[in-house]
A and B are shown apart, each in its own frame.
Chain A
Amino acid sequence: MKTPNKSRDLTLTTAAVGLLLVFLWWANGHLDNYKIQVLNLIAINSILALSLNLIYGFTGMFSLGHAGFMAIGAYVSSLLILPPVQKEMIYILQPLIWPFSVLQAPFFIAVLAGGFAAALLGLIIAIPVLRLGGDYLGIATLGFAEIIRVVFTNLTPITNGALGLKGIPNYANIWWNYGWCLLTLFFLIRLINSNFGNVLKAIRDDEVAARAMGINTFKYRVVSFSIGAFFAGIGGALMASLITTIDPKMFSFLLTFNVLMIVVAGGLGSLTGSIIGSAVITVLLEWLRFVENPIDIGSFHLDGIPGMRMVIFSLLLILIILFRREGIMGMREFSWDSLINRFSRGGEAR
């Protein structure tokens, strides 16, 4: 067997995390707000992509309900961190009902509460919905996310309806976002490499075989779905505090689609792929904004077309599906062994 060098890997991982922290500290002091915002988005998108990958990539459940879980996480956490005075000011149509009007919690607890609320809802809808498989599950979860959105639009005494919440305290700085991102990543690495993870992969690859081995596949699917929903809620909570304004319109299918695009582009069933995917896609989405501005090529003038970058992105997704269906990483994962092997082999070749 390849004996994994545990102490070496631990040292290297610690060093890599240290380097990341040094980079973030440097970025925080030297980069402008826009670039820091992009860095923050990478972290949050990573959390969202990792959680969807657990549900879709590792357990094989095609779920399109991510925006719904994010909405739950975002609203629960925002209601807990908004100061009561602020709440009184923004609820113009109908006042916020008790106990939400007085509830307050520190940021960490609020985000955690958002995650647990999303997980609880995930658990409740999982029990009827996960009896479905394949495309039917996708349709049912998509419907669920739309229901959440409509309910939030009409539940004015709690959600402030279509007006949404404004002036949410901007606690989600680079440290919180990357902290949660690393926590999610390490939790999922442990989970995927455990016996639990093997059971999930068995269910994904062949549910009949898994049942024949005595695995209660339904129970595992429900647990995996709820854990995915939990981290989607966390991502939603951080997102709300990062952009400080939320309304139900924001949590439309397009949001789920963005996360799905990251997961597919990065590689279904690869945690590494989800991280790389969120970095690449988040940066590309920002960088591609230039195509929406007016462009002059020589004497040729192009008016800016809003939404043009989404057209380019859809084309990109089609190309990925056509030519590289397994995404950037396929099902492979990063490991220190493979990195070191690559370098030493490169050295021998020279």
Chain B
Amino acid sequence: MLKIEDLHVYYGGIHALKGLSLEVTDGQIVTLIGANGAGKSSTLRSIAGLVKNRKGKILFEGQNILGKTPEALVGMGIAMCPEGRRILPHLTVMENLMLGAYIRNDRDGISKDLDWVFELFPRLKERTWQKGGTLSGGEQQMLALGRALMSRPKLLMLDEPSLGLAPLLVKEVFEIIRTINAEGKTVLLVEQNAYAALKVAHYAYVLEVGEIVLQGTGEALIENPKVREAYLGG
């Protein structure tokens, strides 16, 4: 579904991604793990069209999407749930969700997806008319996920969905990612919480300073001694 070939990203003089190549297979959960500054977020941001200085090839369903605007990419079925949730604090939960469906015009489809999101996150339904800023951290993460789903994406990209959440909520978020995937969405997940991410992932890549150093199925990487030492605490 998504194939990246030899992607380079520059921020000013910094060479953030150095010829990265990876592949996301339809219907899978694929995760990128790595330390701070390894280039995980840069990868997601360049797929979403939010990074300007890039070079290489990003193929989505066979089409090169490098250089397309973020608007066009959302229309093609790529949704990103950015790091730090970034919900809109002065708008209600409903308004946040409806803005997620901004590029769509099919009323029936939107209301169907809205029902689905409320089914996934019953707590959001209780808070429909509350301002986004009044929600708890966990609820805000649910809202961010729900909002990304409202564009009816084929590929859902999640940047650090467990960041700053209590352990119990982290578990819940990963359960939900599994559910979303089971309903047919392909997921590209970036995580600091390497163990939990590898547990849910079908396939995983390990990034180190802008390059892929290891790859394999989630289970294989959990067993890999190098990964255990560097990311899973021995």
Contacts and interface: CB of A to CB of B under 8 A. Distances in A.
Interface of A: 1-2, 195, 198-199, 201-202, 205-206, 208-216, 269, 331
B151 interface: yes
B207 interface: no
9 contacts: A198-B91, A202-B91, A202-B99, A208-B50, A210-B99, A213-B99, A213-B100, A213-B102, A214-B71
B90 A331 contact: yes
B74 A214 contact: yes
B48 A212 contact: yes
B75 A214 contact: yes
A1 B88 contact: no
Contacts of B81: 212
Contacts of B86: 206, 208-209, 212
B129 A212 contact: no
A109 B99 CA distance: 37
Contacts of B82: 208-209, 212
Chain B interface size, as a band, is: 20 to 34
A205 B103 contact: no
Contact of B128 (A1, A209, A214): A1
B69 interface: yes
B139 interface: no
A196 to B, nearest CB: 11
B99 A198 contact: yes
A211 to B, nearest CB: 5
Contacts of A195: 98
A254 B91 CA distance: 34
B88 A202 contact: yes
A260 B75 CA distance: 39
Contacts of A215: 71, 99, 102
Interface in B30-74: 48, 50, 69-71, 73-74
Given A1-B129, A213-B99, A214-B70, 12 more contacts: A198-B95, A201-B91, A205-B89, A208-B50, A209-B82, A209-B87, A211-B71, A212-B82, A213-B147, A213-B151, A214-B151, A216-B71
A269 B103 CA distance: 25
A331 B91 CA distance: 11
B80 interface: yes
Contacts of A211: 50, 70-71
B99 A199 contact: yes
Given A2-B129, A208-B50, A208-B86, A216 B69 contact: yes
A269 B90 CA distance: 10
Contacts of B80: 212
A303 to B, nearest CB: 49
Nearest to B131: A331
Q: Which of B69, B73, B79, B88 has the most CB of A within 10 A?
A: B88
Contact of A201 (B71, B87, B88, B151): B88
B74 A205 contact: no
